[in-house]
Chains A and B, each alone.
Chain A
Amino acid sequence: MNAPTFDITRRTFLAGTGALVVSFTIPLEASAQEGEVPTAPKPPAKLQGSLADTPSLDAWIRIDADGTITVFTGKAELGQGTKTSLRQIAAEELEVAPGEIHLITADTAITPNEGYTAGSQTIQNSGTAIRYAAAQVRQILIAQASGKLGVPADQLKAENGKVIAPNGASVGYGELVSEQMLHINADPNTKIKSPDSYHAIGKPFARVDIPGKVTGGEAYVQDMRPDGMVHARVVRPPSYSAKLVELDETKIKTMPGVIAIVRDGDFLAVVAEQEFQAVKAMRAMTTIAKWQEQAALPDQEQIPAWLEANVSEVGTVTSVGAETAAGVKTLSAQFTRAYQMHGSIGPSAAVAVFKDDALTVWTHTQGVYPDRKAIAQMVGMPEDKVRCIHTEGSGCYGHNGADDAAADAALIATTLPGRPVRVQWMRDQEHLWEPYGPAMLTRANATLDEKGTIVNWHYDLWSNNHGTRPGSAGSLIAGRLMAKHFPPDAAKLQISPLGNGDRNAIPLYDVPNQRVNWHFLADMPVRVSALRGLGAYCNVFSIESFMDELAEAAGADPVEFRLRHMKDPRARKVIEVTADKFDWNNDPLPAGKGRGFAFAKYKNHAAYLAIALEAEVDAETGIIQISHVVSAVDCGEAVAPDAIVNQTEGGILQSMSWTLYEAVHFNNTRITSPDWSSYPILRFSAVPDSIEVHVVDNPGQPYLGVAEAAQGPTGGAIANAFKHATGKRLCDLPYTRERVKTTLGA
């Protein structure tokens, strides 16, 4: 049976005070990075994907009397194309065209609880659950039809919404369903279809949402216009811990269109009939509000030192083999990464209405259930009276302002019963208040033997928690600002297969002796949380940079050196495909040009990805221009190959932007990167000439999360191309022009 397996051979888990987390899925209790660790060991799950948590078939699939098929997923469309790929999966097993599937995404009233749409797990978890559920539903329908048609089940086949007998007699799905028919638990022994019969999985199927999005259709939470809707704007403090000292509300109340001012402790908002009225009132309120601030941020120039000095706990990520090993050459290196932003193009927004003692929130949060829980606690309502419905926002790439905008809308809505409240954050509010990807410091140390093989590997990383999602009401900005405020959730070091700051800290390479430690900082003066890839970006950047240094010390070609240390055939495959398609060689390049290679298996158990690129470095200006990129990715069975290519291209370009430009700036009191002028990201002039993504398809293999797989390797490949082009290794992210010029000298 093609159950997804979980490769745990490389890791031992340190449970700390609790149990081993062995299951492949994200059990709800352990899904939050904060929160209690289960006290008793959980037996390995037998049901596939999210079926383990939500085993009832009718939670996933409903067939109406008229034959309409509705599929429910607890995951959300974030722009990765899951509204489309999940349809393909369901359509495959239910033997209909993907366009026949109605898909309902994350809604606390309707869909399964699948935690967060995060960590590249939608296809892995939800897709797998839907796959097996749909397969079982098909078999149930066939069994029903067998009874109705009097034909043995093994002679019947499902096709296009009907079950068909050899003599041509058929009966539609709608005629076969009955009350409670699907209200049974999934059978872990369900067989799914084999790839040679696929009509939907792996086949080209256009994204269902694009036509609407390019013709002005209603697509985003920002497009909602329920009757009676009012417009709200929050006024945020100028810094995290600022306290409101003075606000003369009378000046604002009399502005045209203003309906209400919400003032609850340090939480401030204004509500108006029309949107621009709300904007003007917000600006006026921002000008006249007086705050008391304190200098509570670390020195931006001294972050690596600050990281070292403020460690609260050290966790062992892995400890394998001997502490030291004899060799001929030992190398060490240190790498750093700045705080970096999600930088969603559309600042966060939400719509909420409080009516008949119930609160409904339309939000682009990645986790409707956790956000609901936190909001319910914040407004003091029972959870079952709060409903969060996922509605698309712009790409979030992790925990951005979405959960908080939802909380803002909820809080304001409770003060205006019956009126739908639309909250739209401004650009500076998103930039200044979103939780960033944490700054990191890493140190690598390794020893080579006389054959040029790595025999010993030490790796240390310093980082905050890469996840401060809801959580309790204290994880929400509104929850911390309001008068009856909630304390922020305490950050706890948790080392698990999912990975956090330690994601991809263990190299996949075959090294017999490995020590990897996470120097954890509980203190988070700068707000941080999950940014696409979490620790993988900096860890893979560090490891892949270091691998090239080791290769050089061993006198080896970078690609050959990696293959030398890689037995995993699927890893070897993506490395070889990339090298081949890129025409990787060691011919000299003109001065200033370099080529770089990198590889990682995301989380060490998700997608494999290798990347090669060519870059040109202009020493005068410090500009790095990447000319062409080739990548190969293996994420198991490719459900929607085009979506994989799209996400991989996207990850490459986003990581390129992070690597070349991005660092959040702050002084000792405030974050000072409020917009795109102060936090520049990739523009078209810097986009490469070409990016090729080759999907190594493995039909029938388990799904491996792929959407974040490119972040780390792209950083590594740029680092290595830079070294090749200039002869100098730059170990600090981002590769700003100043850094490049300083590193290269005159």
Chain B
Amino acid sequence: MMKLNVNGAAHEVEADPSTPLLYVLRNDLKLNAAKFGCGMGQCGACTVMVDGKAVFSCLTPIMLLEGRRIKTVEGLGTIDNPGPMQQAFIEEQSAQCGYCIAGMMMRAQALLESKPDATDADIRTALEPNLCRCGTHMRILKSVQRARELMKSASATPVSAG
């Protein structure tokens, strides 16, 4: 039994410790966002965040992840209450087939969380490990730029207690 912290919640999973996180997320925890694209760390469709940094979940065995904070797209918001990154992608209609998008969002989220003032060039560089075959790149860039603005204004707004 392994204890994993995913999107702020503790989970006990029975999977073999050598199982890549991707399979545990999808099959044990029934989370759809992270996807199988190559299993080799070449395409980024499986990208999630661990302790604030982007990782390829297809290659990260869960044995490395006890006690660490795992975040997936599901932790960014819900369909009724999307978070800024999700909001931005919806606003920009930033998907064709959509298969690569969850990975893009997590890669971008990791960037903006660590560097809220990331420049447009920073965004391009950060997304290099992630592939999109449909050619949605322009919109993806625009969405991340938009998310940057949304996240900045969200943090600027004072959070009321309660």
- List the interface of chain A (C-beta within 8 A of B): 78-81, 206-207, 209-220, 222-223, 225, 256, 274-276, 279, 343-347, 392-395, 397, 424, 426-427, 642, 646-647, 649-654, 656-657, 675-677, 681-685, 687, 690-691
For window 103-133 of B, CB contacts with A under 8 Å fall at 105, 124-125, 127-128, 130-133
Chain B, residues 58-92, CB within 8 Å of chain A (1/0): the string is: 00000000000000111011110010001001100
| Majority-rule SS of B interface residues | loop
Which one of A78, A646, A656 contacts B136 once the chains associate, using CB atoms below 8 Å?
Answer: A646
Choose from B15, B98, B132 the contact partner of A209 (Cβ within 8 Å). Answer: B98
Closest B residue to A654 using CB positions: B135
Contact yes or no, A345 B45, CB < 8 A: yes
Contacts of B93 in A (CB 8 A): 206-207, 210, 642, 646
Q: List 29 A-B contacts (CB under 8 A).
A: A79-B95, A79-B96, A79-B97, A80-B96, A81-B96, A211-B90, A213-B101, A215-B74, A215-B86, A216-B32, A216-B73, A222-B36, A276-B15, A345-B43, A345-B45, A346-B99, A395-B96, A427-B38, A427-B39, A649-B135, A650-B135, A652-B135, A656-B135, A657-B135, A676-B131, A682-B135, A683-B131, A684-B128, A684-B141
Name which residue of chain A comes closest to B140, CB basis.
A684
* Contact assessment for B138 and A691 in the assembled complex, using a CB-CB cutoff below 8 Å: yes
Question: Among the listed B30, B35, B134, which residue makes an inter-chain contact with A395, where contact means beta carbons less than 8 Å apart?
Answer: B134
Asked whether, in the complex, the Cβ of A210 is within 8 Å of the Cβ of B131, the reply is no
A220-B99, A676-B38 known; A654-B134 Cβ under 8 A: yes
Residue of A nearest to B136 (CB): A650
Q: Which of chain A's residues have a CB closer than 8 A to the CB of B45?
A: 345-346
Q: In whole angstroms, how far apart are the Cα atoms of A642 and B94 in the complex?
A: 11
Indicate whether B102 reaches chain A with its CB closer than 8 angstroms: yes
Q: Quick check: A395 and B15 within 8 Å, CB to CB?
A: no
Query: Most chain-B CB neighbours within 10 Å: which of A214, A274, A279?
Result: A214
CA distance A647 to B134 in the complex (A): 8
Contact indicator A216/B102 (Cβ below 8 Å): yes
B19 adjacent to chain A (CB < 8 Å): yes
Question: Is B137 part of the contact surface with A, judged by Cβ < 8 Å?
Answer: yes
List B contacts of A81 (CB < 8 A): 96
- Residue ID in chain A nearest B82 by CB atoms: A215
Closest chain B residue to A346, Cβ basis: B99
User: Quick one: given A216-B72, A654-B133, are A649 and B138 in contact (CB under 8 Å)?
Assistant: yes
From B19, B26, B125, B133, contact of A344 by CB (8 A): B133
Residues of the B chain whose Cβ atoms lie less than 8 Å from the Cβ of A345:
37, 43, 45, 97, 99-100, 131-134
Residue contact A276 to B23, C-beta cutoff 8 Å: yes
CA distance A346 to B125 in the complex (A): 23
Complex CA distance for A650 and B35, rounded to whole angstroms: 21
Contacts of A394 in B (CB 8 A): 97, 99-100, 133
Q: Which residues of B contact A650 (CB under 8 A)?
A: 96, 134-136
CB contacts (< 8 Å) of B139 on chain A: these are: 646, 649
Query: By the criterion CB–CB under 8 Å, are B102 and A346 in contact?
Result: no
A344 to B45, CA, bound (A): 12
Give the complex CA separation of A271 and B129 in angstroms. Answer: 32
CA distance A217 to B74 in the complex (A): 9
Return chain B residues, CB-CB under 8 Å to A347.
Answer: 36-38
Whether B42 sits at the interface, judged by CB under 8 Å, is yes
Bound together, the chains give a CA A687 to CA B89 distance in angstroms of 19
Q: Cβ of B27 < 8 Å from any Cβ of A?
A: yes
Q: Considering the complex of A and B, which 4 residue pairs feature the smallest CB-CB distances, nearest first?
A: A79-B97, A653-B135, A650-B135, A394-B99
Query: For B96, what are the chain A residues with a Cβ–Cβ distance below 8 Å?
Result: 79-81, 395, 646-647, 650
A residues near B39, Cβ cutoff 8 Å: 279, 426-427
Contacts of B76 in A (CB 8 A): 215
Chain B, 1-42, CB within 8 A of any chain A CB? 15-16, 19-20, 23, 26-27, 30-33, 35-40, 42
CA A649 – CA B141 in complex, angstroms? 13
Whether B128 and A683, one on each chain, are in contact in the complex, defined by CB atoms closer than 8 angstroms, is: yes
Q: Is A207 touching B72 in the complex (CB atoms < 8 A)?
A: no
CA distance A646 to B89 in the complex (A): 13
- In the complex, what residues of B have CB within 8 A of residue A682's CB? 135, 137
Besides the known contacts A210-B94, A218-B32, A685-B125, 7 further A-B residue pairs in the complex with CB atoms under 8 A apart: A214-B90, A214-B98, A220-B35, A275-B27, A649-B135, A682-B135, A684-B127
Structural contact, B19 and A676, CB atoms closer than 8 A:
no
The CA of A256 and the CA of B18, in the complex, are separated in Å by: 13
CA distance A293 to B40 in the complex (A): 27
Q: Which residues of A contact B99 (CB under 8 A)?
A: 79, 220, 345-346, 393-395
* Known A-B contacts A216-B72, A347-B36, A675-B42; A206 and B135 likewise in contact (beta carbons under 8 Å): no
- Shortest Cβ distance from residue A208 to the other chain B in the assembled complex, whole angstroms: 11
- Residue from the list B26, B101, B102, B141 in contact with A687, Cβ < 8 A: B141
How far does the Cβ of B16 sit from chain A's closest Cβ, in whole Å?
A: 7
Nearest Cβ on chain B to A649's Cβ, whole angstroms:
6
What is the CA–CA distance of A243 and B153 in the complex, to the nearest angstrom?
A: 62
CB distance from B31 to the nearest CB of A (A): 6
- Counting chain A CB atoms within 10 Å of each CB, the highest count among B31, B93, B101, B138 belongs to B138
User: Chain A: which residue is nearest B72 at the CB level?
Assistant: A216
Q: How far is the CA of A279 from the CA of B22 in the complex (A)?
A: 13
CB distance from B35 to the nearest CB of A (A): 6
Q: Nearest-CB distance from B74 to chain A (Å)?
A: 4
Set of chain B residues within 8 Å of A279, measured between Cβ atoms: 23, 39
Q: In whole angstroms, how far apart are the Cα atoms of A657 and B77 in the complex?
A: 33
Query: Which residues on B sit within 8 Å (CB–CB) of A646?
Result: 93, 96, 136, 139
**Assembled-state Cα–Cα distance A426/B40 (Å):** 10
**A residues within 8 A CB of B82?**
211, 214-215
Q: Are A274 and B27 in contact (CB under 8 A)?
A: yes
B125 to chain A, nearest CB (A): 7
* Bound: A206/B101 CA distance, A: 17
Query: Once the chains are docked, how many angstroms separate the CA of A81 from the CA of B93?
Result: 10
Contact A215 B16 (CB under 8 A): no
A210 contact set on B, CB distance < 8 A: 89-90, 93-95, 98
Shortest Cβ distance from B33 into A: residue? A216
CA gap between A482 and B95 in the complex, in Å: 38
A216, B133: Cβ atoms closer than 8 Å = no
Evaluate contact between A275 and B23: CB separation under 8 angstroms. yes
Given contacts A346-B37, A681-B131, A687-B137, contact A214 B95 (CB under 8 A): yes
Residues of the A chain whose Cβ atoms lie less than 8 Å from the Cβ of B134: 79, 345, 395, 650, 654
A212 contact set on B, CB distance < 8 A: 79
Complex CA gap A395/B95 in Å reads: 11
**Smallest beta-carbon distance A392→chain B, Å:** 7
* Chain A residues positioned under 8 Å from B30 (CB to CB): 225
Q: How far is the CB of A221 from chain B (nearest CB, A)?
A: 11
CA of A206 to CA of B45 in the docked complex: distance in angstroms?
Answer: 24
CB–CB B133/A214 < 8 A: no
- How far, in Å, is A266 (CB) from chain B's closest CB? 24
Complex alpha-carbon distance, A220 and B45, angstroms: 14
Cβ–Cβ < 8 Å partners of B137 in chain A: 653, 682, 684, 687
